[in-house]
Structure 1
Amino acid sequence: MSTHPVPLHRRPRGSWTGKAVVNAVLALFACYTLMPLAWLLVASTKDRGDLVGTGGFTFADFHLLTNLGDLFGHDDGIYGRWLLNSVLYFGAGCLASTLLSTAVGFAFDKYDFPHKEKVFGLVLLGVLVPGAVLVLPQYLLASRAGLDNTYWAVLIPLLVNPFGVYLARVFSEGYVPGEVVEAARMDGAGEWRVFRSVGLPMLAPGFVTLFLFTFTASWNNFVLPLYMLSDDKLYPVTLGLAIWSKSSQQNPEFSMLTVVGALVSVVPLVVAFVCLQRFWRSGLTAGAVK
């Protein structure tokens, strides 16, 4: 049977049609995804009058710098405090959550203990439970412990991530050979040393991927801070913007602050993905060619 490639002029026309359809669908989804961001960028350059008096994607006089000054100067810089709170909640909190999930996933993969698979099954059950369902019980527990309306009320629930444990186990199976772990133990390394010096460096791409997933989901989390916090100085940026958006119905000044604040709140996500995309793309292939 001949193995020569089919000349271009003799290749089925349907293959080109299929590629065109796929590219068209991808372009449509890209436009759908980027359109809100494009509108946000254009709207942030306008003043309040142009925001309601011009088309959504029509540029007017450039007021972005003025809008940024108004945003960070409003109410003694409360927006800047919200940004710092978000970095604490969803930056430091998600970093700790990712480290904990990675350690637990590594343990599920590399250690044998009684009823391991049954315990892991319980972890998978946790993946199936929507996070919003757990918010009220978490609030009641935090209230009984005296932690409601504190930073800990948001930070502690973020540490528990069943999906992160599952994903970390998959990464450990794909990135860390059991022979390397056994060799480290034979060289006299303790279990903590094995994880810290052998497992964690080899899991770096998976660690970054898991951190990005957790960071993005947590940054967009609105329900948990809404239940846990009543002091506006403890709000993350998502909750603060929601309060401003609701207030804009009575005070139009907040409409411009909400638009510009939403644009600024996207920047940390973009920076995180741009800086860590090399690890993220390699982490997504973990276990694909095991």
Structure 2
Amino acid sequence: MTHPTAAPGTPGAAAVTSSGRPGPRLRTPRPDRPRRRRSPLLTVLTGVVLLYSLVPLAWLLVNSTKTQADLFSSFGLWFGGDFALWQNITDTLTYDDGIFVRWLGNTLLYVVLGAGGATFLAILGGYALAKFDFPGKRWVFAVVIGAVAVPGTALAVPTFLMFSQMGLTNTPWSVIIPSLISPFGLYLMWTFAAEAIPTELLEAARMDGSGEFRTFFRISLPLLAPGIVTVLLFTMVATWNNYFLPLIMLRDSTWYPLTLGLNAWNAQAATAGGEAIFNLVITGSLLTILPLVAAFLLLQRYWQSGLAAGSVKE
């Protein structure tokens, strides 16, 4: 009696033994996938960008370990004779009655209230624009896009004139209130919420009797987590590195953020006899970027998931 068998070249073909029992399946050889050619030019450009990004950081890290004398007598990208990092950090934190610590506290205040408030408002506005229909929605979209295109420096002088009439200049509110508005963060949350939250899910929650606030906080907010982290990082970096707005708004050095404070030290170091604090400028710059680096490292997995959302087709 003959046993029907599949053709050897067909998928799922199985070998049949002499006893009539099916043997192990024969694997069909897969066609070789064409390998992507590596572009030498792209590799070189990536290496140049990497060097451009890392060399200043390496210079900053190396020179923050040097004494004042080694800064002007040793090679810039190599360590000096004495390792003075801890002494430089101590001198930076205690110089001029610890004014650097005050500047750091001011910057944290501006970031927590300004960037945190901007992120919160962007979440609410982006969710409402993405999931609710109302008259004039297209006009709102046009205004948001137009606001994204306008640079912040162009609005600094009108903002100063408006705040001076209200008597808010030279106060922390003159830096915090303008930082609450982030057109780019609003647009980013708008586009992210439109794709990340299915409309059917919201309708199902409403049919089950869930109110709008409960639906937002229990269902929508967890789905918006990657977008929230992305907007928070952008607003935090923008507020942390904000220079021009505090420059025209603040006169009292006790309310300076780190950017203005380090610039004041740098100007002092450039004058005759002020070279003695040049190592403080370098060490203070290193301490300034460490919180941003830590924030990116801690939140990068949420940020990467937010960037990859919607990139895979089923």
Does residue 37 (structure 1) correspond to residue 57 (structure 2)? The answer is: yes
Residue from 17, 22, 47 that aligns with 2:67: 47
Name 1:285's counterpart in structure 2.
Answer: 308
Name 1:27's counterpart in structure 2.
Answer: 47
Name 1:219's counterpart in structure 2.
Answer: 240
Please, which runs of 5 or more residues in structure 2 have no aligned partner? 1-28
Name 1:257's counterpart in structure 2.
Answer: 280
Q: Does the CA contact (< 8 Å) of 2:114 and 2:239 recur in 1? A: no
Residue from 15, 32, 36 that aligns with 2:37: 15
Alignment-mate amino acid for residue 258 of structure 1: V
Alignment-mate amino acid for residue 5 of structure 1: D
- Secondary structure, counterpart of 2:37 in structure 1: helix
Alignment-mate amino acid for residue 279 of structure 2: M
Residue 107 (structure 1) shift: 0.5
Q: Distance in 1 between matches of 2:157 and 2:182?
A: 17
- For the aligned residue pairs, the C-alpha RMSD in angstroms reads 1.7
Per the alignment, do residues 289 and 114 of structure 1 end up closer, same or farther by CA in structure 2, a change over 3 Å counting? farther
The superposition leaves residues 150-186 of structure 1 with CA deviations (integer Å, 9 ceiling, x where unpaired) of: 1111111011111111100111022111111112222
Q: Distance in 2 between matches of 1:6 and 1:267?
A: 44
Q: Distance in 1 between matches of 2:159 and 2:309?
A: 33
Which one has a bigger Cα radius of gyration?
2
Q: Does the CA contact (< 8 Å) of 1:170 and 1:286 recur in 2? A: no
Name 2:163's counterpart in structure 1.
Answer: 142
Deviates more, 1:168-177 or 1:191-200: 191-200
Q: Does the CA contact (< 8 Å) of 2:227 and 2:303 recur in 1? A: yes
Q: Does the CA contact (< 8 Å) of 1:82 and 1:237 recur in 2? A: yes
Q: Distance in 1 between matches of 2:66 and 2:48?
A: 27
Residue 249 (structure 1) shift: 1.3
The superposition leaves residues 38-70 of structure 1 with CA deviations (integer Å, 9 ceiling, x where unpaired) of: 000001000111111111112111001110110
After TM superposition, where is structure 1 displaced by more than 3 Å over at least 4 residues in a row?
Answer: 286-290
Q: Distance in 1 between matches of 2:229 and 2:162?
A: 31
Note the 1:157-172 alignment, pairs <5 A: 157-172=178-193
- Identity over the aligned pairs, expressed in percent? 46
Please, which runs of 5 or more residues in structure 1 have no aligned partner? none
Q: Distance in 1 between matches of 2:176 and 2:214?
A: 27
Residue from 32, 46, 49 that aligns with 1:5: 32
Greater per-residue helix proportion? 1
Q: Distance in 1 between matches of 2:133 and 2:189?
A: 16
Per the alignment, do residues 67 and 116 of structure 1 end up closer, same or farther by CA in structure 2, a change over 3 Å counting? same
- Secondary structure, counterpart of 2:95 in structure 1: helix
Name 1:73's counterpart in structure 2.
Answer: 94
Q: Distance in 1 between matches of 2:96 and 2:296?
A: 31
- TM-score (ref. length: structure 2): 0.86
Alignment-mate amino acid for residue 204 of structure 2: A
Name 1:270's counterpart in structure 2.
Answer: 293
- TM-score (ref. length: structure 1): 0.93
Name 1:239's counterpart in structure 2.
Answer: 260
Residue 141 (structure 1) shift: 1.3
Q: Distance in 1 between matches of 2:104 and 2:33?
A: 58
